[in-house]
Amino acid sequence: MSKLSFHTLIAALILIQFGSPLLAEEQSISEDRALLTEQQPVLEDSKTNKKKNEDVYHALNFFGSVLQRVQEGYVDDVPVSKLIDNAVEGMLSGLDRHSHLVDEKDFKDMRSQMKGEFGGLGVEIVAESGILKVISPMDDGPAQKAGIRAGDYITHVNGKLILGMNLDDAIKQLKGKPGTEVKITIRREGQKPLELTIKRELIKTRPVRGKREGDFAYLRVATFIDTNTADKLKEEYQKIKKDGKPIKGIVLDLRNNAGGLLDEANAVTELFLEKGKEIVSIRGKNHEDIQRFHARGGDQFKDLPLVCLVNRGTASAPEIVSAALQDHKRAIVMGEASYGKGSVQTVIPLRDKKAIRLTTQRYYRPSGATIQDDGVKPDLEVALAYIEKIDLGPRITEKDIPGGVRKKEQKTAKPEENNNDQVNDAKHDDEEKPTENVLPQKDDDEKKKDDTKKEKELEDILSKKDTKSDEKSKKELIDYQLERALDLLKSIVVYKDFMKR
């Protein structure tokens, strides 16, 4: 390609990108002369814009020179379209890890995810230090079933080191046709590498689950991708109430919720806030341009205490929910500090069925503090742990032990029976009294046999427990954070009842 053709290409690119907006601006100015006379700073802004455009022209000229050198000197022939796409991807990914070029296939994948169905492992990941970090595994997905946790690092996929691999390319390695297998290597803090073979499944996200926990309602929101999350949360709550027993409090579980739609986060939040309370504010490049979202309907659970569970896998949309409930003192936030993603990405369609995913705004909690990096810090910090119930066997009391002291039976003697009692007492005095607290004795051989048998039984029990402990899934263990949340609600209810006395 000649130098002239390259300059022609750059000139055309400049005209396409900047000519149309400038022409549109001139047209709008000519149609509204009165507006020009009122806004005097426009002339100064025009000078600033002119300087910016000159900088752009210079940068595009430099880009054209590099493009020419690559086409003329690179060892292989590469289509111009691929070079341009690579350049655009590099420009966007250099801004932050959330911004990137979206091709036609990525568009289809995004639509599948918005429908709540896609083939893969069911895990939300980000690139960190050149490798993949798990933000959260989806409920009942292949990754969660395989034991993958939030905070795990994926270092290899099918034996291939993914260090430095593009995030989208790495995700494509994990996705695939349902039923096919993928081998991954997991690194977990303080442990040796863990190799897992996981079968891909058609991931169907279920945004809300609910169940009764004694006198309390447990509502788990796994994702905000679904467009009816708030309605489904209300449906789950009504199912719990069907048994007729009163609900005395709610646990809202947002752990390992990797985000979703802003509108759904707002819709869920306003179920718990009074009308008019601010939920979140969004600010773009122009900090004066602030968009605020407020609760519209009113608190539908006003008289019920609320505990909101978060952890390191709570990211983006659920952070909006937990931050708003915390700032308005509507809920006690419990668990671990959340992930800290307080930015908004906008998908901007372009030509040729492509688009760019660009970070356009940051969101702020009602207090004005940012969520970005800091996350939501819990009111009560409770680390992730699981409690296993220990089977100690049947309860043994004093009465079960031979020779134990028995409780004294209280009997009231009738007056006319006193003489007979005295006679009976005299008879007992004449009889030989047995020696107290004397246990039947076994010979030494029998005792040794019993001890050996018990030791063997104990070893068998312990060995079975050790074997089962590795095989037990989390569902068979008690969720420590949830138990603490329920204990807190119980304490609140007891205190309220106490104050009513």
In a domain, 380, yes or no: yes
Do 241 and 277 belong together in one domain? yes
Instruction: For residue range 134-156, list pLDDT tens digits in order.
Output: 877 888 889 999 999 888 989 88
Do 328 and 228 belong together in one domain? yes
Do 364 and 250 belong together in one domain? yes
DSSP letters, 51-64, are HHHHHHHHHHHHHH
pTM above 0.85, yes or no: no
Q: Kindly report the CATH number assigned to the domain that includes residue 126.
A: 2.30.42.10
Do 43 and 158 belong together in one domain? no
Place of tokens 């111009």: 80
Please identify every stretch of the chain with a pLDDT value under 70, giving residue numbers as ranges.
Answer: 1-46, 107-118, 129, 166-168, 386, 404, 407-477
Given the residues 109, 226, 253, 327, select the one marked as catalytic: 327
What is the predicted pLDDT for the residue at 474? 40
CA distances from 325 to 301, 308, 462 (A): 13, 8, 45
Place of tokens 């060995």: 463
CB contact at 8 A, 330 and 306: yes
Given the residues 109, 226, 299, 316, select the one marked as catalytic: 316
What is the predicted pLDDT for the residue at 327? 98
Q: Tokens representing 351?
A: 């030509």
Do 197 and 224 belong together in one domain? no
In a domain, 498, yes or no: no
Do 219 and 352 belong together in one domain? yes
Do 270 and 194 belong together in one domain? no
Segment holding 198, helix H or strand E: strand 194-199
Q: How far apart are CA 49 and CA 47, in angstroms?
A: 5
Total domains in the chain come to 3
In the annotation, is 327 catalytic? yes
- Residue 224's nearest CA partner among 216, 233, 237 is 233
Q: Please count the other Cβ atoms lying within 10 Å of the Cβ belonging to residue 380.
A: 13
In a domain, 125, yes or no: yes
In a domain, 257, yes or no: yes
CB contact at 8 A, 371 and 324: no
CA distances from 431 to 69, 128, 418, 451, 458 (A): 121, 89, 20, 39, 46
Given the residues 232, 248, 277, 341, select the one marked as catalytic: 341
- Range(s) of the domain holding residue 10: 3-78
Strands (E), 264-412: 278-283, 290-294, 306-310, 332-335, 343-349, 355-364, 380-381, 386-387
Domain boundary among 204, 221, 238: 204
Q: Kindly report the CATH number assigned to the domain that includes residue 329.
A: 3.90.226.10
CB contact at 8 A, 119 and 201: yes
What is the predicted pLDDT for the residue at 392? 77
What is the predicted pLDDT for the residue at 196? 94
Instruction: For residue range 431-461, list pLDDT tens digits in order.
Output: 444 444 444 455 666 656 665 654 555 445 4
Do 238 and 256 belong together in one domain? yes
In a domain, 371, yes or no: yes
Strands 249-253, 216-221: pairing kind: parallel
Domain boundary among 358, 387, 416: 387
What is the predicted pLDDT for the residue at 10? 54
Do 182 and 222 belong together in one domain? no
Q: Please count the other Cβ atoms lying within 10 Å of the Cβ belonging to residue 170.
A: 18
The SS3 call for residue 71 is helix
What is the predicted pLDDT for the residue at 288? 78
Q: Tokens representing 347?
A: 């998908």
In a domain, 70, yes or no: yes
In the annotation, is 449 catalytic? no
Do 277 and 380 belong together in one domain? yes
Do 121 and 246 belong together in one domain? no
In a domain, 461, yes or no: no
Domain boundary among 357, 387, 417: 387
In a domain, 487, yes or no: no
What is the predicted pLDDT for the residue at 211? 93
Do 213 and 358 belong together in one domain? yes
